[in-house]
Amino acid sequence: MSAIRSVLLLGHTHHDVGYTNSPRLVDDAHRRIVSRVLDLCDEDPTEGDDAFRWTFEVARPVLNFLRTADEREVQRLCRLVASGRISVTGGYLNMTQLPSDAEFGAAYDRLREFAIAGIPVRTEQHGDVNGIAWGAVTAMRDAGIDRLLMALNPDHGRAPFRQPTGFWWEGPRGDRVFTWLSTHYGFGEEWGIIDGDVDRAERHIGEFLDELAARDDYPYDTALVHAANDNRWPTALFLDVVRHWNTRHPDVRMRTATVDEALDLLAAQARQADVPVVRGEWSDWWSHGHGSTARDVAVYREARSLARAAAATLGIAALRGDGEGDGDPALATVLGYRRGPVRLRSRSEIAERLGHVDEQLLLYGEHTWGSWETYSKPHSTFSHSHANAKAGFAYDAYDWARDLAVEGFFRVLASGPVDAGAAPDGTPPDAAPADGAPADATATDGAAADMIAVFNPTERERTEPVLVEIAGSRLARVVATVPAFGSAVLPVPAAPIERGESRSIETDRYRVRVDPARGGVVSLIDLRSDRELVDSAIGHGLGAVVVETVPPDSTHPMVTRNPKDFHPDHPGPEFVRTAAAGDAEPVVLEGDGFVSIAWESSVAGVPSIRTVLTLHSATEAIDLEVGLVKPERFGPESVFVAFPFAVDGPEFLLETAGAVYAADREQLPDTSKDWYSIQHAVGVVGADHGIVWGSVDAPLVQLGGIHTGEWARVLVASGGSVNSWLMNNLHFTNFQARQEGTGTYRYRFFPREGAVTREDVRVHGRDLLDPLLARQYVGPVRMRGRGGLTVEPADRVLAELRPLEDGSVRVRLRNITGDPLTATVDWDRPGVMGGRSVPLGALGVADVHLRRTRG
């Protein structure tokens, strides 16, 4: 129990990209808020307890201000930061668990603009969101940030500790950030603080201090109180609260403070009190909202894959030298979706457009999904406009990233001198003519595309299935082996042959049996070990679509009173779960190197489902695609794709941004165990075998069963099931009240004899994020085989390429192991400088820059 001797009042506005107004308007308004704060500081030049002090909760509006303000305004900001009147924080926006470590890296890279301006950034602040990816600790420390304030909103979730409190959050590699788990920032409005309602504020703050003083687990003599709410235009009204309080409570002084000043004081007291160190994922209860717009989330994930593809292809092309004489890429004459580029962008254009895609991805990964009336007025024009604007971030990123990736693909194939085995005219030595392929201007108008070109955007050789659109009329499936940062050219395969109806398929690796009445695969035998991979005790098959609804006679308060009562304080409700079923016999297709089995099913709410499982002769990967028609529906509902793996007593390893963690065992207390938002991959780890599983399009999973509404404090896994939670509408605001998600959702998994490692999970997730790039192609192929770049050790390091405006190519290296190592970046041909060896600590990150010196 501690006597409270001082109160710090933190003035800020909670940054929603939307919610209270359209995202199209709010973003610019926050930039203008910066100027208004400067004016308020200058209007109140005093330095006393009641001086106007302010914290910019996120970095984006201040960065936008720096890019548009004149020198006098920039210097005014710098002066006020230096004097302690203003704090600038390092979190780009209030992010969800959607962004990858690469997107976090792009955000933290932008903080260099603060360093150039002379603005220190020491703290990150988040509001609303119930969790942050574990790898964010590593990214924060690499960016020079070692404190985090989390003003967590406990609606639809729980805080890991009683609010407020402080602790040390230890990251995957052992470094720490001091974390202040604050109260919900919204008390600033609820208690009358930001409106200057001095009597109401005094009453609530007094009650709050009494609660703190009575706690045995609060070893601080300071209380932090927020003067904030959603997108509030800054005013100085909260200063009246300070003056009124200090007149009536001279023994407990109140003072305005910035977040930096507040955490300086609180962290010092935490060190003296020896507060706990906790380690693990801050798994976000709010992440169930990712399932509110399944189609848009899938587009966002595809967009970031295309952006990385663009950066890799354009980076290798820049190093090899492109656009040189006979090496000019084949250009199209029509701005066509399926065609090649009509012109080549300059370095500055590429850098600017890649930066724009980064911005759009970060805006989509931010936590604001919809308006404050999405539930009360789901059909309003504003609700629809807001949803359109939010989706627009994903689609904007997709359009630009795809166009850049197409250009990069054509440029890299035509880049540099002719490699051994490559024909300048683009005809592969072993290519066969396309089987009746019509003319299609994928590269040059009017030319028949008679080959498939494949590029590997990663540092290790890969053998994987790829799907390629042929002549705009069908999809071809091929398995390609492609060297690191290199290419391969394959003939267009003949169309697969339908082998008729059957419930079974088999290769030399697997035997599969499908039962449409149970919605999916009821037996999947790994023939190498004679092991059954499907848990027969589950009432439905692998790949079955399961719909979860609330009974119409439910008396749960979320149904009878308010959807906000879907909450830990009200466990439940009880759900009815129904698996899709069908009565038509499955159909088998056989192609060059693969065999597929397809079946149809339906279930109430999802009238049409087509599922295809594919086995390949050249790889152990098993692909599953679920295409479903999901009409719009209101009311609580969920849709899953089930993967009931037969793994006894499993542990689940989950890929989060920048880390892999063991579910439950490596989580902060009371963080979400009912559901998880992953990047792409899950490892199901058994005593002597396991499964490496991944989702291309949908990030949410429930593990070891379906747990919706349990609000569990401990993960109870009855088996090795991974249930892909495609969509849900279990919300009360912000997210969409309706649910629809017509589309195709893709998965890839394979069994492992022996241990499934964290590295297995990390690499599988990265490979789904960065798939092999393939398309039907006509044009010069000057690169065949390796492209020239080598990164070692390729089995322990991941590499991301990025062409920069100055002509260099950044190679960002990530050590995915828990041990330090030395990584080498080398270019095996003349004309490029910058390759070298760099030390990488455990889970460390380092950049190497390469530059072409001739041509």
Q: What tokens does 613 get?
A: 């499982």
Q: State yes or no: pLDDT of 57 exceeds 80.
A: yes
pLDDT the model gives residue 3: 87
Q: State yes or no: pLDDT of 430 exceeds 50.
A: no
Q: State yes or no: pLDDT of 550 exceeds 60.
A: yes
- Separation of alpha carbons 254 and 562, rounded Å: 37
Nearest C-alpha neighbor of 597 from the set 613, 618, 616, 585: 613
pLDDT the model gives residue 738: 84
The mean pLDDT value for 520-526 works out to 98
pLDDT the model gives residue 737: 87
pLDDT the model gives residue 420: 64
Q: State yes or no: pLDDT of 762 exceeds 60.
A: yes
The 10s digit of each residue's pLDDT in 377-419 is 999 999 999 999 999 999 999 999 999 999 999 999 999 887 7
Helix (H, G, I), strand (E, B) or coil at 226: strand
Indicate left, alpha or beta for 554 from its phi (over 0: left) and psi (-120 to 50: alpha).
Answer: beta
- Separation of alpha carbons 606 and 602, rounded Å: 6
The 10s digit of each residue's pLDDT in 257-287 is 999 999 999 999 999 998 999 999 999 999 9
pLDDT the model gives residue 450: 77
Angle CA 794–800–803, to nearest 5: 135
- Separation of alpha carbons 518 and 773, rounded Å: 35
Q: State yes or no: pLDDT of 99 exceeds 90.
A: yes
pLDDT the model gives residue 273: 94
The Cα-based distances of 703 to 150, 674, 765 in angstroms read: 27, 8, 17
pLDDT the model gives residue 855: 56
Which range, 443-457, 492-506, 727-741, is most confident?
492-506
pLDDT the model gives residue 423: 55
Q: State yes or no: pLDDT of 541 exceeds 90.
A: yes
Kindly indicate the confidence band of residue 440, based on its pLDDT and cuts at 50, 70 and 90.
Answer: very low
The 10s digit of each residue's pLDDT in 121-151 is 999 999 999 999 999 999 999 999 999 999 9
Helices 71-82/23-43 angle, 10° precision = 70
**Residue pointed to by tokens 């302010």:** 54
pLDDT the model gives residue 39: 97
Query: If you ran DSSP here, which 8-state letter would residue 548 be given?
Result: E
Q: State yes or no: pLDDT of 675 exceeds 70.
A: yes
- Separation of alpha carbons 203 and 210, rounded Å: 11
Query: Kind of pairing, strands 176-182 and 147-152?
Result: parallel
Kindly indicate the confidence band of residue 718, based on its pLDDT and cuts at 50, 70 and 90.
Answer: confident
**Is there a contact between 512 and 615 (Cβ–Cβ < 8 Å)?**
yes
**Is there a contact between 214 and 1 (Cβ–Cβ < 8 Å)?**
yes
**Is there a contact between 141 and 107 (Cβ–Cβ < 8 Å)?**
no
Q: State yes or no: pLDDT of 97 exceeds 60.
A: yes
Helix (H, G, I), strand (E, B) or coil at 824: strand
| CB within 8 Å of 569: residues ≥ 6 apart | none
| Range list of β-strands (E), 575-662 | 576-579, 587-591, 594-603, 606-616, 622-629, 633-634, 637-645, 651-656, 659-662
Query: Taking the CB of residue 417, how many other CB atoms lie within 10 A of it?
Result: 15
Q: What tokens does 211 get?
A: 């609660």
Provide the β-strand partners of residue 504.
513
- Separation of alpha carbons 369 and 23, rounded Å: 10
- Which amino acid is residue 301, in one-letter code? R
Q: Is the dihedral of CA 44, 47, 52, 57 positive or negative?
A: positive
The mean pLDDT value for 443-448 works out to 37
The 10s digit of each residue's pLDDT in 11-29 is 999 999 999 999 999 989 9
Kindly indicate the confidence band of residue 432, based on its pLDDT and cuts at 50, 70 and 90.
Answer: very low
**Residue pointed to by tokens 């935490």:** 270
Q: State yes or no: pLDDT of 740 exceeds 90.
A: no
pLDDT the model gives residue 635: 86
The 10s digit of each residue's pLDDT in 318-369 is 999 985 544 589 999 999 888 999 999 999 999 999 999 999 999 999 999 9
Q: What percent of the chain has pLDDT over 70?
A: 95
- Separation of alpha carbons 543 and 534, rounded Å: 11
DSSP 207-269: HHHHHHHT-TT---SEEEEEE--BTPPP-STHHHHHHHHHHH-TTSEEEEE-HHHHHHHHHHH
Q: What is the torsion angle, in degrees rounded to the nearest 10, for the CA atoms of residue 406, residue 408, residue 411 and residue 415?
A: -150
| Range list of β-strands (E), 266-306 | 277-279
pLDDT the model gives residue 325: 46
The 10s digit of each residue's pLDDT in 164-223 is 999 999 999 999 999 999 999 999 999 999 999 999 999 999 999 999 999 999 999 999
- Separation of alpha carbons 556 and 561, rounded Å: 8
**Residue pointed to by tokens 């060896």:** 837
Provide the β-strand partners of residue 96.
none
pLDDT the model gives residue 382: 95
Q: What tokens does 810 get?
A: 């950044």
Predicted TM-score of the model (pTM): 0.95
The 10s digit of each residue's pLDDT in 814-829 is 999 999 999 999 998 8
